[in-house]
Chain A
Amino acid sequence: MSTSFEKYQKRRLISSYFSVVISISLVLFLLGMLGLLVLNTKKVADHFKEQIALSIYLKETAKEVEITQLQKSLSLADYTKSAVYVPKEEAAEKLSVEIGEDFIDYLGDNPLQNSIDVFLNADFVTPELMEEITNELLAKGFVDEVIYDKPLIALLNDNIKRISFWVLIISGVFTFIAVLLINSSIRLSVYSKRFTIKTMQMVGATKSFIRKPFIWKSIKLGVVGIFVAWIGMGVVIYSLNKTFPELLLIEQPLILGAMFLSIFVLGVFISWLSTFFATQRFLNLRTDELYY
């Protein structure tokens, strides 16, 4: 027997749950996106850091064996991402293209040196470590000089530090807002049942018995919210990956999985905690105080 009246009642209930689900999913979605940002600031920063080359200029006297040996030891070193040997002819060609005229022609000689361009792993791109690597290389007799853009590295490190700091602060603020928002929408839905809660107490139900179905309901709504958030995150990650494949967003299933899982855990935890406190609040009130 489902009359149109009952259907209407049910629809009204569903729409009030709807707002809880929406607020949970929006907030979790936002948190997920922030998580993605935090996880990827490092990756973006590393991406920039690994563009920086350390050029080792070799003396004319350097022997072939020494060069290949250096190349080998460089490619084995843990700070190297890649090392490319650039013979001076190739360097000259590149430079000619860059300045737009064939300078060897009027100089009559190639003044450039043979060099090895080393691209470092991001973790080693700090002023201190690069200094160390430079000194180590200079100790070899056939190395003339080691050149890299010092101010750029200092600037890069400073900026990355500053940006990560603010990303963290903003994430913290958003997490706080998230908890607050979910909490208040759950509180509201529990508040609407405060007289029901009181009645249940009047007939001899214990607090935990009354609380249980409320918590279940919230967790169920929370899980629906989590799924909605997941779908949103999935869509964003998919389209970001299409636009910026160099971020390798999808290449790290473990990190992504951990992020989705932590969104789930967070969603369930917040729903549980908010419902617990919201019901507890009304369970502890005396009947008269419900009207205040």
Chain B
Amino acid sequence: MSKPVLFLKNASIFQRESLILSEVNVSINKGEFVYLIGKTGTGKSSFMKTLYGDLPLQEGDGEIVDFDLRTLKEKDIPFLRRKLGVVFQDFKLLNDRTVNDNLLFVLKATGWKDKKSMETKIDEVLGKVGMKTKGFKYPYQLSGGEQQRVAIARALLNDPELILADEPTGNLDPQTSVEVMEVLQDINKNGNTILMATHDYALLLKYPSKTLKCDENQIFEVVQKTV
């Protein structure tokens, strides 16, 4: 079996001085779709933040898309994030520019130069999330579900080895959640690895998959029935 995209061994995660999670042992392989569930305040977001370099890993070992989280340097963080796609609960689009320019910014920021290939790429990812006709709009002119699709499209731009989605449906109504979930499922079927934090149990039941649970400073795998 090939090397896991993400693994953590005996890792502890701190928010400043307070311990959030300890003895974290997680491993995610290429092509998997993994849920991360747990009540609010159990450390889901801190866990995600550690993975994309917003929180330092202070104890234990961790490796994500070939970056060692323990020795991760400040200046390497942008390059780690280029190999990840991050989707947030609050979309985090740049509100001062259109959807196309949002995507264009990411491409330019990550070193793309050729105008033609950038346009092709933007078309491609917008097509994947079914937003091809909305490229000229500003984020505030879009509904929440549409914004989240754009955010997912943005996460796909650099063909990431792992997509981290931190409660991507948290701000959406149930029906829109299902639509966004369909998009994520499609992407997963195309071979992308996805780690999705959520507390939307309806989605878990509808799209069962490997599930990790955060509880009492621990992360452990749960079998769907016991959820």
Query: Would B92 and A204 count as touching, CB distance under 8 A?
Result: no
CB distance from A216 to the nearest CB of B (A): 14
Is A202 close to B, CB under 8 A?
A: yes
Among B80, B94, B108, the residue within 8 A (CB) of A199 is B94
Contacts A/B (CB < 8 Å), 12 sampled: A196-B94, A198-B92, A199-B94, A200-B105, A200-B109, A201-B77, A203-B105, A204-B81, A204-B82, A204-B109, A205-B105, A288-B15
- Chain A 257-292, CB-CB to B under 8 Å as 1, else 0, gives 000000000000000000000000000001110000
Please report A residues at the B interface, Cβ cutoff 8 Å.
Answer: 195-196, 198-207, 209-210, 286-288
Query: Can you add 7 more A-B contacts, CB < 8 Å, to A196-B94, A203-B86?
Result: A199-B93, A200-B94, A201-B78, A202-B52, A202-B81, A205-B106, A205-B109
Least CB separation from B82: chain A residue: A204
The answer for the CA separation of A204 and B82 in the assembled complex, in Å, is 5
Query: Would A205 and B92 count as touching, CB distance under 8 A?
Result: no
The answer for the CA separation of A204 and B158 in the assembled complex, in Å, is 10
**Residues on A with beta carbons closer than 8 Å to the beta carbon of B15:** 288
Query: Would A203 and B106 count as touching, CB distance under 8 A?
Result: yes
The answer for the CA separation of A286 and B75 in the assembled complex, in Å, is 14
Least CB separation from B138: chain A residue: A6
The answer for the CA separation of A247 and B110 in the assembled complex, in Å, is 58
The answer for the CA separation of A233 and B20 in the assembled complex, in Å, is 60
Please report B residues at the A interface, Cβ cutoff 8 Å.
Answer: 15, 49, 52, 54-55, 75, 77-82, 84, 86, 88, 92-96, 105-106, 108-110, 154, 158
Among B84, B88, B96, B154, the residue within 8 A (CB) of A196 is B96
Least CB separation from B154: chain A residue: A203
The answer for the CA separation of A196 and B82 in the assembled complex, in Å, is 17
Least CB separation from A1: chain B residue: B136
The answer for the CA separation of A19 and B108 in the assembled complex, in Å, is 31
**Residues on A with beta carbons closer than 8 Å to the beta carbon of B96:** 196
**Residues on B with beta carbons closer than 8 Å to the beta carbon of A203:** 81, 86, 105-106, 109-110, 154
Query: Would A209 and B54 count as touching, CB distance under 8 A?
Result: no
**Residues on B with beta carbons closer than 8 Å to the beta carbon of A202:** 52, 81, 86, 88, 92
Query: Would B105 and A204 count as touching, CB distance under 8 A?
Result: no
The number of A-B residue pairs with CB atoms under 8 Å apart is: 53
**Residues on A with beta carbons closer than 8 Å to the beta carbon of B80:** 204
The interface residues of chain A, by DSSP majority, are classed as: helix
The answer for the CA separation of A198 and B105 in the assembled complex, in Å, is 14
**Residues on B with beta carbons closer than 8 Å to the beta carbon of A201:** 77-78, 81
CB-CB under 8 A for A206 and B78, given A200-B109, A287-B49, A287-B54:
yes
Least CB separation from A203: chain B residue: B106
Least CB separation from B84: chain A residue: A204
Least CB separation from A202: chain B residue: B86
Query: Would B110 and A205 count as touching, CB distance under 8 A?
Result: yes
Name the 6 nearest CB pairs between A and B, nearest first: A205-B109, A204-B81, A204-B82, A199-B92, A206-B78, A203-B106
The answer for the CA separation of A214 and B77 in the assembled complex, in Å, is 21
The answer for the CA separation of A204 and B54 in the assembled complex, in Å, is 12
Query: Would A206 and B109 count as touching, CB distance under 8 A?
Result: yes
Least CB separation from B15: chain A residue: A288
Interface centre among B75, B79, B106 (most CB of A within 10 A): B106
The answer for the CA separation of A288 and B20 in the assembled complex, in Å, is 15
The answer for the CA separation of A205 and B110 in the assembled complex, in Å, is 6
**Residues on A with beta carbons closer than 8 Å to the beta carbon of B105:** 200, 203, 205
**Residues on A with beta carbons closer than 8 Å to the beta carbon of B49:** 287
**Residues on A with beta carbons closer than 8 Å to the beta carbon of B54:** 286-287
**Residues on A with beta carbons closer than 8 Å to the beta carbon of B88:** 202
The answer for the CA separation of A200 and B54 in the assembled complex, in Å, is 13
Among A199, A204, A210, the residue within 8 A (CB) of B110 is A204
Interface centre among A199, A201, A287 (most CB of B within 10 A): A199
**Residues on B with beta carbons closer than 8 Å to the beta carbon of A210:** 109
Least CB separation from A206: chain B residue: B78
CB distance from A86 to the nearest CB of B (A): 78
Query: Would B109 and A209 count as touching, CB distance under 8 A?
Result: yes
**Residues on A with beta carbons closer than 8 Å to the beta carbon of B55:** 286
Query: Would B93 and A204 count as touching, CB distance under 8 A?
Result: no
Query: Would A204 and B79 count as touching, CB distance under 8 A?
Result: yes
CB distance from A196 to the nearest CB of B (A): 6
Least CB separation from B96: chain A residue: A196
CB distance from A81 to the nearest CB of B (A): 64
The answer for the CA separation of A195 and B96 in the assembled complex, in Å, is 12
CB distance from A289 to the nearest CB of B (A): 10
**Residues on A with beta carbons closer than 8 Å to the beta carbon of B78:** 201, 204-207
**Residues on A with beta carbons closer than 8 Å to the beta carbon of B106:** 203-205
The answer for the CA separation of A286 and B84 in the assembled complex, in Å, is 18
